[in-house]
């Protein structure tokens, strides 16, 4: 569970409700017609810009906002180092035996190419092509929410104009002025909330998740090609750690030290 996303949603709801109740009446902010104009119009405009298939794919990805399924880069580096050591001891063909235990399909596919004896340049080109296509798919999802972010405030303004037109036409009817003014103001409110609390943060989060996944897969490419070339595992490990931030490197070193301590303790007990 991604607590940051959940916390942001909960706090956003709390602050909105507080602002509505503070010196006012929450029912003043509730308008079905305003929501229909703003949300419906924004969705309609975005549908014009993208295909239904794009919509279906991006909403499949939304659960990732709440649970990060990306494999730990620490575990990936450890796995690649272990594979490198095994390949140097037993040869590249020995990597075929453990592939069924690998959950990452991208890593599994790269190792299959190595075991099959494919040239390093072809492996890099093939895996990079898959990475590029993945970036295009991610980009469409991000673009959809960026379009939402632009369209919801615009339709909020359209709703405001609709409300003002109705207001001007109803100046001789005091009973109609209130509903018309509500539509005029609440639509802009809905547009701003949908854009700045929902769509813009989701687009940013999807960009972050995409960047993390791309960096992990680039690290896998480097690791697999290093294994194929027979590079020293420690040199490979040092190179792969360059994909980590300084804080992540410190955390990785602590993890390795902890694993070595536990392994040494187990050997002593044995």
Each domain of the chain, given as residue ranges in start order, spans 33-261
> What confidence score (pLDDT) does residue 268 get?
46
pLDDT band at 254 (very low <50, low <70, confident <90, very high): confident
pLDDT in tens, 190-223: 999 999 999 999 999 999 989 989 999 999 999 9
Residue 269: band (very low, low, confident or very high) from pLDDT cuts 50, 70, 90: very low
Q: How far is it, in rounded angstroms, from Cα 69 to Cα 73?
A: 12
Residue 259 has pLDDT above 80, yes or no: no
pLDDT of residue 252 exceeding 70 = yes
The mean predicted confidence, pLDDT, of the chain is: 86
pLDDT at 5: 84
What six digits make up the tokens of 39?
Answer: 């949300």
Q: What is the pLDDT of residue 262?
A: 66
Tell me if 110 sits within 8 A of 224, measured CB to CB: yes
Best CA proximity match to 69, nearest among 94, 38, 35, 104: 104
pLDDT computed for residue 263 by the predictor: 60
Q: Which ranges of the chain would DSSP assign to H, the alpha helix? A: 3-21, 32-35, 41-49, 52-61, 73-90, 105-115, 120-169, 174-193, 200-229, 233-240, 246-269
pLDDT digits (tens, 9 = 90+) for 139-186: 999 999 999 999 999 999 998 988 888 778 777 777 777 667 777 788
What does the chain come to in residues?
270
- Statement: residue 80 has pLDDT above 80: yes
Query: Residue 196: CB partners within 8 Å, gap ≥ 6?
Result: 149
d(CA 81, CA 223): 8
């Amino acid at each position: 569970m991604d607590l940051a996303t959940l916390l942001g949603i909960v706090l956003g709801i709390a602050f909105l409700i507080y602002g509505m109740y503070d010196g006012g009446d929450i029912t003043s902010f509730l308008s079905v017609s305003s929501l229909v104009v703003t949300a419906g119009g924004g969705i309609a405009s975005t549908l014009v810009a993208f295909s239904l298939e794009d919509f279906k794919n991006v909403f499949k990805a939304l659960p990732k906002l709440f649970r990060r399924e990306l494999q730990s880069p620490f575990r990936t580096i450890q796995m690649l180092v272990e594979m490198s050591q095994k390949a140097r001891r037993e040869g590249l063909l020995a990597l075929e035996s453990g592939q069924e235990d690998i959950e990452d399909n991208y890593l599994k596919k790269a190792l299959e190419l190595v075991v099959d004896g494919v040239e390093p340049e072809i492996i890099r080109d093939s895996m990079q092509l898959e990475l590029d296509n993945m970036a295009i798919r991610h980009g469409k999802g991000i673009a959809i929410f960026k379009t939402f972010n632009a369209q919801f405030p615009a339709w909020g303004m359209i709703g405001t104009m609709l409300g003002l037109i109705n207001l001007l036409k109803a100046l001789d009817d005091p009973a109609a002025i209130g509903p018309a003014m509500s539509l005029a103001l609440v639509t802009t409110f809905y547009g701003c909330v949908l854009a700045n609390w929902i769509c813009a943060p989701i687009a940013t989060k999807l960009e972050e998740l995409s960047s993390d996944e791309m960096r992990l897969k680039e690290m896998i490419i480097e690791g697999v090609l290093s294994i194929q070339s027979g590079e020293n595992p420690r040199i490979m490990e040092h190179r792969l750690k360059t994909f980590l931030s300084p804080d992540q490197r410190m955390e990785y070193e602590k993890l390795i030290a902890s694993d070595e301590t536990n392994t040494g303790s187990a050997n002593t007990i044995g």
